[in-house]
Amino acid sequence: MYRFLVCALGLLGTVLAQSVDSYVGSEGPIAKAGVLANIGPNGSKASGAAAGVVVASPSKSDPDYWYTWTRDSSLVFKSLIDQYTTGIDSTSSLRSLIDSFVIAEANIQQVSNPSGTLTTGGLGEPKFNVDETAFTGAWGRPQRDGPALRATALITYGNWLLSNGNTTWVTSTLWPIIQNDLNYVVQYWNQTTFDLWEEVNSSSFFTTAVQHRALREGAAFATKIGQTSSVSSYTTQAANLLCFLQSYWNPTSGYITANTGGGRSGKDANTLLASIHTYDPSAGCDATTFQPCSDKALSNLKVYVDSFRSVYSINSGIASNAAVATGRYPEDSYQGGNPWYLTTFAVAEQLYDALNVWAAQGSLNVTSISLPFFQQFSSSVTAGTYASSSTTYTTLTSAIKSFADGFVAINAQYTPSNGGLAEQFSRSNGSPVSAVDLTWSYASALTAFEARNNTQFAGWGAVGLTVPTSCSSNSGGGGGSTVAVTFNVNAQTVWGENIYITGSVDALSNWSPDNALLLSSANYPTWSITVNLPASTAIQYKYIRKNNGAVTWESDPNNSITTPASGSVTENDTWR
């Protein structure tokens, strides 16, 4: 009976794999064309965008994504640069597009915007108009992942250029852009940031992880081209980031808490996206950098996936160890709170990455942390190391491959006949919803498909890193130790009105109403934000209202707080 069951499961896996093969074969070229169509100036759906500018989506209403985001653009071009530098697509047209992206980002770095200028924090501005001018409307700013992701994309290109003898252009054109981004990370890594979903202002696992990667590879790249003046600051803050990265792990529940604030469970695609975008094949299953096959990353994947099993109607009736549609986080309500193509692809990509590493090292390791993940596929498995020659290894990896393919098959099931990938698909019937032709959706398909093919891309220096025994929260901005302060204010608002905070220190924007920090209304009428403030410091602050450009300060006197020497504190206020 057992042999029959194994054979039956193997047959089902073969059928599924063939189905996914077919989808990858047809959707891959569509996804590539979808990416290129959204890049100016010649993309068929990017008319009016400047050269090298990535339009998030052609959608201009409900939602309006006719902007260029630093984060999205950098992830998209990282996938294109990977294709070019590995010879998957070595066409001159792609090379020209990459060069246009470099120039576009150099221009955007110089644009004064609501987050500041190049030297006062402006690189944290999340999005710009497609003509490279500043977007000045209300938004969740700053978002500190963009500079790190842009640096990573450009370093990948720079390393290829160096290996092909183009040193002068790297040092004269590419390095100044990269250096701006790395210096931004050094200065601002330990200050609060809106997460990649632009909703929670605290500290974010995804941001911390990609900042750590950028500084590690940035230090190596700077050394390679002889620009060593800032290398020590890069390596120092990289060590602090690696230390901070460990604090997101929730050992009791076995998952990575995505954000330090926000009032949600913390189960979030943010964490899987961090794992796949900081994947270093040579680092094996390292848990300190949360590599895809590490016990912590696998435990986290299971908790994340399981959180969606009962959330969406389209997941009803699916076995508890089979693939389901996943979204940003289970509490999501944006555009109805639906599954996303890119998050569902991300699950598959992490699993493919894990399978590729196990195959390369010839074994897999089950720990007490990852045991629940592996027991989904073999209830009798126990902690231990299983060589590739063992039956247990074959059983587990075959089942996990089918599991990974299942997530691609979910997306295939809900991809329309023309292959177009929107941002989301309906939780009730799977029809595409929200922004059409989302560039990031298409790029996520490309990277997942390459992972399934075991395409090898360059690592970034994650091998052999150890967490420092003593960690500092000091940034490169000259500040001392900080403490997390949560500000809650009870404030009734009208439609279109938001609550902000500013105050007497840099972290509260030095009384600037233009750069004041937006609070979250997730628990309305309580508005909240968590900010890292200087420890043992007397600080004054006020809340302000903004509505279509109109600014209203709360009445005098100023609020005040003296921060403790360590730990965290919460201030509960009522609008005056």
pLDDT in tens, 272-293: 999 999 999 999 999 999 999 9
139 in a known ligand binding site: yes
Q: In terms of Cα–Cα distance, which of 105, 134, 111, 130 is closest to 47? A: 130
For residue 574, is pLDDT > 60? yes
Partners of residue 547 on adjacent β-strands: 497, 550
Give residue 478's pLDDT band: very low, low, confident or very high (50, 70, 90).
very low
Largest interatomic CA distance in the chain:
78
d(CA 371, CA 382): 7
Query: What pLDDT is attached to residue 566?
Result: 74
Q: How far, rounded to the nearest angstrom, does the alpha carbon of residue 367 sit from its chain's CA centroid?
A: 27
Q: What SS3 state is found at 362?
A: coil
Which helix (H) or strand (E) element contains residue 219?
helix 205-224
Give residue 483's pLDDT band: very low, low, confident or very high (50, 70, 90).
confident
pLDDT in tens, 8-25: 445 455 667 889 999 999
Q: Among residues 195, 268, 280, 423, which one is catalytic?
A: 195
Per CATH, which fold does 42-58+69-278 belong to?
Glycosyltransferase (1.50.10)
Could you give the C-alpha distances from 449 to 77, 171, 353, 461, in angstroms and in order? 16, 33, 11, 24
Query: What pLDDT is attached to residue 63?
Result: 96
Query: What pLDDT is attached to residue 413?
Result: 97
182 CB-near residues (< 8 Å, 6+ apart)? 147, 151, 214, 215, 218, 222, 230, 234
For residue 440, is pLDDT > 60? yes
Give residue 339's pLDDT band: very low, low, confident or very high (50, 70, 90).
very high
Residues of the chain above pLDDT 90, percent: 81
β-pairing verdict for 255-256 and 249-250: antiparallel
pLDDT in tens, 356-382: 999 999 999 999 999 999 999 999 999
Query: What pLDDT is attached to residue 181?
Result: 98
Evaluate the CA torsion angle 188, 192, 193, 195 in order and state its sign: positive
SS3 labels along 283-343: HCCCCCCCCCCCHHHHHHHHHHHHCCCCCCHHHCCCCCCCCCCCCCCCCCCHHHCCCEHHH
Sorted by where each begins, the domain ranges of the chain are: 1-37+305-459, 42-58+69-278, 482-574
Does 41 sit behind a cis peptide bond, omega within 30 degrees of 0 on the bond before it? yes
β-pairing verdict for 482-490 and 568-574: parallel
Q: Name the token pair of 168.
A: 């002068």
Give residue 6's pLDDT band: very low, low, confident or very high (50, 70, 90).
very low
Give residue 515's pLDDT band: very low, low, confident or very high (50, 70, 90).
confident
DSSP code, position 71: H
Q: How many residues does the chain have?
A: 576
For residue 261, is pLDDT > 90? no
For residue 479, is pLDDT > 50? no
Q: Among residues 89, 198, 331, 497, which one is catalytic?
A: 198
**65-79, 117-131, 477-491: lowest mean pLDDT where?**
477-491
d(CA 390, CA 477): 53
Strand runs labelled E in 520-564: 520-523, 526-534, 538-547, 550-553, 559-562
For residue 1, is pLDDT > 50? no
Query: What pLDDT is attached to residue 333?
Result: 95
For residue 227, is pLDDT > 80? yes
For residue 387, is pLDDT > 90? yes
For residue 475, is pLDDT > 90? no
Equal CATH topology for 1-37+305-459 and 42-58+69-278: yes
Q: What angle do CA 358, 362, 363 make, to 5 degrees?
A: 65
For residue 58, is pLDDT > 80? yes
d(CA 411, CA 340): 9
**85-89, 222-226, 339-343, 530-534: lowest mean pLDDT where?**
530-534
The mean pLDDT value for 480-493 works out to: 86
Evaluate the CA torsion angle 39, 42, 43, 49 in order and state its sign: positive
For residue 567, is pLDDT > 80? no
Q: Annotate 440-470 with b (16+ C-beta within 10 A) or e (fewer).
A: bbbbbbbbbbbbbeeeebeebbbeebeeeee
Query: Which CATH architecture group holds 482-574?
Result: Sandwich (2.60)
The mean pLDDT value for 304-333 works out to: 97
d(CA 126, CA 386): 45
pLDDT in tens, 114-132: 999 999 999 999 999 999 9
Q: What SS3 state is found at 483?
A: strand
pLDDT in tens, 141-159: 999 999 999 999 999 999 9
Single-letter residue type at 233: S
Is 198 a residue of the active site?
A: yes
For residue 260, is pLDDT > 90? no
Per CATH, which fold does 1-37+305-459 belong to?
Glycosyltransferase (1.50.10)
Q: How far, rounded to the nearest angstrom, does the alpha carbon of residue 364 sit from its chain's CA centroid?
A: 27
For residue 477, is pLDDT > 50? no
Could you give the C-alpha distances from 495 to 1, 64, 338, 437, 550, in angstroms and in order? 63, 18, 24, 30, 13
Query: What pLDDT is attached to residue 13?
Result: 59
Which helix (H) or strand (E) element contains residue 132?
none
Could you give the C-alpha distances from 393 to 1, 135, 451, in angstroms and in order? 20, 52, 20
Query: What pLDDT is attached to residue 379?
Result: 95
Could you give the C-alpha distances from 97 to 77, 80, 303, 447, in angstroms and in order? 9, 9, 39, 19
Is 181 a residue of the active site?
A: no
| Stronger pLDDT, 146 or 537, i.e. the higher one | 146
Could you give the C-alpha distances from 191 to 8, 283, 477, 557, in angstroms and in order? 53, 28, 10, 27
pLDDT in tens, 500-514: 999 888 888 878 888
Q: Name the token pair of 91.
A: 């066409």
Query: What pLDDT is attached to residue 14?
Result: 67
pTM: 0.83
**243-257, 274-288, 333-347, 545-559: lowest mean pLDDT where?**
545-559
